[in-house]
Structure 1
Amino acid sequence: MPLAALALLSAAVPATAFAATPIAGRYVTEDGAGIVTIGPCGNSVCGKLTTILKKRPGAADTDVNNSDAALRNRPILGLPILTEFRDEGKDWRGRIYDPRNGKTYKSIVAKNADGTLAVKGCIAFFCQTQTWRPAK
């Protein structure tokens, strides 16, 4: 087959879309302070703090650090930590909330071969990665 015909044929065949490895499940945060349960939330995937394993001394039971004063009385337990996550092919992208400072960051989450999650929180191009392990 001539090279030009092969190029036309390959252009007519759509590329296969890849899906990210599913991330649903229960995971212990890197610091061991809590368990985040990840699953479907409408048209996206989200994660909520479903178990507090280690309460920091003097830490409030509500979202006191939230920049939105109307949200400061919501309980920490059940708090949405991961929101608006969508499958981006090789990973999941959305937003992560840190109740310790009340800030939300862009986030990238990917499941590792060993079942752990690589959880990144990013400001511009600067990202910090944590490893969350499956909860037992």
Structure 2
Amino acid sequence: PAPAPTPAPAAAATGPIGLWATEKKEGMVRVEACGPNLCGYAVDEKTGRNGQKVLIDMKPSGSVWKGRIKDTRNGGGGIYDSTLAMKGDDRMRVQGCAFGGMFCGGQTWTRVN
């Protein structure tokens, strides 16, 4: 007999994959798989299509994902160390740090249904 189908991981339903509104509703980011990791793309408001990559190669590490984040605000282009941590099913804490963690800032993003 054929093996039973493997159920999808439970984390997929409550994990970071999906569409997120930034804390101050400045924009939306679509998080999706990119190979074994996660990437996030700024979403074009007019077309709904993925734009610039803002979350780069986020790798699972325990209960968080670690990688890099690109600051696109005010024409910025800095890339910083970043972590993503789920806060329930529909909220995610996104943090970026510079200078080896000496300066950190973050936002809580809300899932868009």
| TM-score clears 0.5 | yes
Does 2:97 align with 1:122?
Answer: yes
Structure 2: give runs of 5+ residues left out of the alignment: 1-10
SS of structure 2 residue aligned to 1:52: coil
Structure 1 residue 46 and structure 2 residue 36: aligned?
no
Report the TM-score when normalising by structure 2. Answer: 0.75
Question: What is the distance in 2 between the residues matched to 1:117 and 1:38?
Answer: 11
Pick the structure with more strand per residue: 2
Q: CA deviation at 1:23?
A: 1.0
1:84 aligned partner: 57
Report what 2:7 is aligned to.
none
Which residue matches 2:66?
Answer: 93
- State the Cα RMSD in Å: 1.9
What is the match of residue 57 of structure 1? Answer: none
Percent of matched pairs sharing the same residue:
35
Q: TM-score, normalised by structure 1?
A: 0.63
Ranges of 4+ aligned residues in structure 1 off by more than 2 Å: none
Q: Please give the per-residue CA displacement for 1:1-50, whole angstroms capped at 9, x wherever unaligned.
A: xxxxxxxxxxxxxxxxxx8x621111001121211000101221100011
Alpha-carbon distance between aligned partners in 2 of 1:32 and 1:121, rounded to the nearest angstrom: 18
Asked if the contact 2:15–2:89 (Cα under 8 Å) also holds between the matched residues in 1, the reply is no
CA contact under 8 A between 2:68 and 2:81: conserved in structure 1? yes
Q: Secondary structure at the match of 1:33?
A: coil
Contact 1:46 1:80 (C-alpha < 8 Å) held by counterparts: yes
Higher-Rg member (1/2): 1
Report the CA distance between 1:114 and its aligned residue.
Answer: 5.1
2:112 aligns with 135
Give the distance between the partners of 1:34 and 1:52, measured in 2 at CA.
8
Q: In the TM superposition, what is the alpha-carbon distance from 1:51 to its structure 2 partner?
A: 3.4
